[in-house]
Structure 1
Amino acid sequence: MKLVKILNISLDNLSKVELLKQLKSGVVFTPNVDHMVKLQYDREFLQTYLQADYKVCDSQILVYASRFLGTPIKEKISGSDLFPAFYNYHKNNPNIKIFLLGGKQGVAQRAAKRINNKVGRSIVIGAHSPSFGFEKDEQECAEIIEMINQSEASVLAVGVGAPKQEKWIIKYKDRLPNIEIFLAVGATIDFEAGNVKRSPKWMSNAGLEWLYRLLVEPKRLWRRYLLEDLPFFWLILKQKLRLYTVPNQSVD
């Protein structure tokens, strides 16, 4: 099964190894529970999602949901697992040159330095931490686009949070002719910089990474995890019972 339908989007049912072998160009999004809920009411986010070339499962809870629906997803491929796998897979590929966009001031540069040290070459050739609300400032976006184009990067990893990062990629990708691969990577740049610690592997594998992140950043994340994401479980039950109806939006 190449595609798995969950609510109003279809996910690519690929393993991480299959994705890395296949990924020569295109836009990669990594949907999680929070994305799935936002996709029910944010029309622009849905239209953005439908333009991605790859949509791979970022959540163990989505894996459980796919099994419950009878259409199991092979593997969880979170952005924070995919990105290090990607740069290690291409560590000897001179055509892969990465630009990092995201994080607070100085974080992207710190992430770039650490990645390059791990890989043993300058695979990250540019990094920038945009200002808060940059996506609403056309002038700043134009300057960022110029910076990326001047860097001659072939891969752009954007980590500014959803749905902002996905919308920004789709809005501006045609103005970035040198970029062959676009990755929406969420908190990955913070993880790579050592700015934020990831959950223990066992918690991630058990579908409890959300709990770890909630304990680490309660003020920022309590509303998302304890209120906003809860409707997901009701929606999945409705899909299982064939009672789910797609919101009044286009579907893939």
Structure 2
Amino acid sequence: MTDTVRLLNIDFDNLTRAELLARFDRGFMLNPNVDVLMKLQHDREFYEIALAADFVICDSQILKMASRLLGTPIREKISGSDFFGEFCAYHAATPAVTVFLLGGMDGVAETARQNVNQRVGRAIITHAHSPSFGFEKNDAESRALVARINASECSVLAIGVGCPKQEKWAHRWRGEMPGIRQILCIGATIDFEAGNVPRAPAWMSRVGLEWLYRMAADPKRLVRRYLVDDLPFFVLLLRQRLGRYRNPFA
């Protein structure tokens, strides 16, 4: 079994969730699904951030199936939303691990904080903050937020403000947050943990249909993403299978 699996222009770490939990003691994690992988075909800045990530984990049953088609199977799909809860549970008895939760609408991050802490059995998420819309473009607000994170003395930053905004913000400012050992980019996880947005049934996730559930729940935002922006993935996958795929940033 290979240590990494290449899908289009990104190398995925071929780990089980148990191995990931044991190894992820420091660094920046990226969890690509099909949509993220397509963004990495067009956004050079995001692509360079992906190359600099310490862990790149498969967050898509479709990508897992694609890897099998290419003859280099990924061992396990590890959903970023599932992994965040598993990470918190794994460190339930590790007082040195504390989380700053960043993202969500007003009040949602705080609800998520309370729910996770109750489930885990300790206040592992010690701080939760919902930033203003467009905060990532405001250096003054970003610096104030970095100061707030540093003052919290948290060891983990979990940021869920949408992709690739969350990855770009975290990558830009990580050097000014010396106490942060681990960065998790968790997308819609804050809404899931707050109970604000329902998760797809487990069987849909297992067969690669979680995208369909999410699209049906939020068609205005997601129909274009899944049925227009992401559809070319299958053409690119065929090109890779035939040895004709070319990295647009090579």
Q: Same fold judged by TM-score > 0.5?
A: yes
Partner of 1:172: 173
Contact 1:51 1:170 in 2 (8 A): no
Partner of 1:140: 141
**What is the aligned length?**
249
Distance 1:87 1:45 in 2: 27
Partner of 1:127: 128
Contact 1:33 1:229 in 2 (8 A): yes
AA aligned to 1:151 is: S
Partner of 1:78: 79
**Displacement of 1:143:** 1.2
Distance 1:193 1:23 in 2: 25
Q: Secondary structure at the match of 1:50?
A: helix
Contact 1:135 1:164 in 2 (8 A): yes
Give CA deviations for 1:165-221 in whole Å, capped at 9, x if unaligned. 111111000010100000011101110111111000000011000000001111111
Partner of 1:5: 6
Give CA deviations for 1:16-50 in whole Å, capped at 9, x if unaligned. 00000111100111001001111111000101111
TM-score, normalising length from structure 2? 0.98
What's the RMSD between the two structures over aligned residues? 0.7
Alignment of 1:212-231 (within 5 A): 212-231=213-232
Q: Secondary structure at the match of 1:70?
A: coil
Partner of 1:162: 163
Partner of 2:92: 91
Distance 1:32 1:150 in 2: 33
Distance 2:134 2:184 in 1: 20
Q: Secondary structure at the match of 1:121?
A: coil
Distance 1:100 1:193 in 2: 12
Distance 2:89 2:122 in 1: 11
AA aligned to 2:45 is: E
Q: Secondary structure at the match of 1:246?
A: coil
Partner of 1:109: 110
**Displacement of 1:112:** 0.4
Q: Secondary structure at the match of 2:78?
A: coil
Give CA deviations for 1:60-106 in whole Å, capped at 9, x if unaligned. 00001100110000000011111011000110101110010011111
Distance 1:164 1:140 in 2: 15
Distance 1:39 1:26 in 2: 20
AA aligned to 2:240 is: Q
**% same residue:** 55
Distance 2:58 2:75 in 1: 9
Contact 1:101 1:156 in 2 (8 A): yes
